[in-house]
Structure 1
Amino acid sequence: MTASWERSRQAGPAFGGATLNAVDLLLAGSVVFTAAFLRGYSGFGFSTVLMAGLIFWLPASQIAPMSIALEIIASLGQSRSVLRDVERRALAYLLLAGLIGNPIGVALLDHVPDQAMRIGVHVLIIGAVLTLLLRPIRPTVPTAMVLSLAGFVAGVVNGATAMSGLVLGLFFTTTAISSRAMRATMIAYFFFTDLWAGALLTVSGHYGGQILWHIAAALPLLFIGLWLGSICFARYGSHDRRFRRIVLWLLLALCVIGLGRALL
């Protein structure tokens, strides 16, 4: 561990308070910006990057509610530009099936260690991504049954590990859904699931003054990152095949980061 990390841990909260030195503040800010940029471009990946990056300055118990709140704000900020592109049929099946799978994932926590589940999910997705990169399949229009199965699996994974974004990102790369609809539908999906999670966190008292201060401090970087990411998508994301490959590489990077964090 670095000396700056030790000083930050001893001093107290990260950004949002006056306890970080300039280097640590710049690094923490760059994590928020990177996460927001990826969210703006691809529609997912925000929470994974935020958790992996800010864990050096904040405990996971503070990052999780902060991430949920910022995800909701991000979805609201993007709603006007993506609403017309949402694949409503796919969204409905994914959400309804996810509601069924979610409690099963939560129940698994009583039988399988959290770290083991996270490692398993990351390894499976890495394997699937590498397979799709090396041997691309022909995208198909998902049936109601396929959408329901994907939503159910995403719900189980979300309940057990809160990593449904990785599952959905992988699923959408195998479909004939356009890049604009893929991105918009994921943004809409996360809005509804995060709204539910945020309500539960609020009722259980997870949004104290310190976390609200962290959220407020992150907002400027969130909006700048979303704006730049959205511009990049508008310019380079309209090519469906290229966008799918970019999403696959992004999934691979996020899973490698997550796997490394789970093993350390």
Structure 2
Amino acid sequence: MLGDTFLNLSPISLLVFLSVVFVAAFVRGYSGFGFSTILMIGAMPVIPPAQLVPLSIALEILASASQAPRVLSEINRRYLAVLLAASLLGAPVGVYILTFVAEEYIRIAIYFIVLSTTLLLLFGKPKPLSPASPHLVAAGFIAGAVNGATALSGLVLALFFTASTVSSHTMRATMIAYLFFNDVITGSLLLAANHYDPSTVWRGLIALPFLLAGVWLGSWRFFATPSESFKTVVIWLVVLFCAVGLLQFV
């Protein structure tokens, strides 16, 4: 069978993988982030992390490309440029920290800090941040450092944007563009290091229809959602991702 030969997955494992891809793609289509988080949590029982990471990056790139026609006009180029430049400065810091602290401890700390801050946003109602350059530089630098250590920059950016005065459409579009550029860089490094074997390529091809269907449905749901409720939904998604992430270490 195809699953046993080309994909190195049993029929049940393949069903689990494709189901997780669809759910992750729906969330990505709706919110602009969260695909890799869901895929890593949901598919790790059937695919080893070393094989799942390059596959996740490739699918993220395809998801962003499929969303591009509808988000290009909504991307704030200044926000994107500042975030990317600052993240490039922050990434080496994250990699440096990773050389001295085990990744699982860093993940626990990030999940806990992001979760605590998100709950403060939900129940404390602090004054929204303006998207001024110092705030963008700080957010980009922290996101870059977090990405260098744990690849969880999407959570940091989602937290920053939901705490800011940026509109929901600009927030979503700019996050999609930011993650696209980060994923292209990471994917290129993984490709150069020969992490894309035939099984990974076949899994990506088989998952593509489920990815596109999920992204399309999620995007449709976004445009049907009132702008004022979007950030609340994103905040609860961040809470969910952090809570599930912490539960993995219990």
- CA shift, 1:14, in A, is 7.8
> Which residue pairs with 1:215 in the alignment?
204
> Which residue pairs with 1:149 in the alignment?
138
Q: Does 1:41 align with 2:30?
A: yes
Structure 1: runs of 5 or more not aligned: 1-12
Answer yes or no: is the 8 Å Cα contact 2:8–2:199 preserved in 1.
no
Bigger drift between 119-128 and 134-143 goes to 134-143
> Which residue pairs with 1:239 in the alignment?
227
> Which residue pairs with 2:112 in the alignment?
123
Q: Which runs of 4+ in 1 moved over 4 A?
A: 13-16
Answer yes or no: is the 8 Å Cα contact 2:7–2:200 preserved in 1.
no
Of all paired residues, the percent bearing the same amino acid is: 46
Q: Indicate how the Cα distance of structure 1 residues 158 and 15 shifts in structure 2: closer, same or farther if over 3 A, else same.
A: farther
Q: Does 1:227 align with 2:213?
A: no
Q: Distance in 2 between matches of 1:170 and 1:200?
A: 27
- CA shift, 1:29, in A, is 1.8
Amino acid at match of 2:200: I
- CA shift, 1:19, in A, is 4.1
> Which residue pairs with 1:136 in the alignment?
125
Q: Distance in 2 between matches of 1:119 and 1:67?
A: 21
Q: Distance in 1 between matches of 2:78 and 2:126?
A: 23
Answer yes or no: is the 8 Å Cα contact 1:15–1:25 preserved in 2.
no
Which one of the candidate residues 34, 40, 45 is aligned to 1:56? 45
How many aligned residue pairs are there? 248
Q: Distance in 2 between matches of 1:45 and 1:15?
A: 30
> Which residue pairs with 1:158 in the alignment?
147
Cα RMSD (Å) of the superposition? 1.5
Q: Distance in 2 between matches of 1:19 and 1:176?
A: 45
Amino acid at match of 2:91: N
Pairs within 5 Å for 1:58-207: 58-207=47-196
Structure 2: runs of 5 or more not aligned: none
Which one of the candidate residues 232, 235, 244 is aligned to 1:248? 235
Q: Indicate how the Cα distance of structure 1 residues 83 and 15 shifts in structure 2: closer, same or farther if over 3 A, else same.
A: farther
TM score, norm. by length of structure 1: 0.90
TM score, norm. by length of structure 2: 0.95
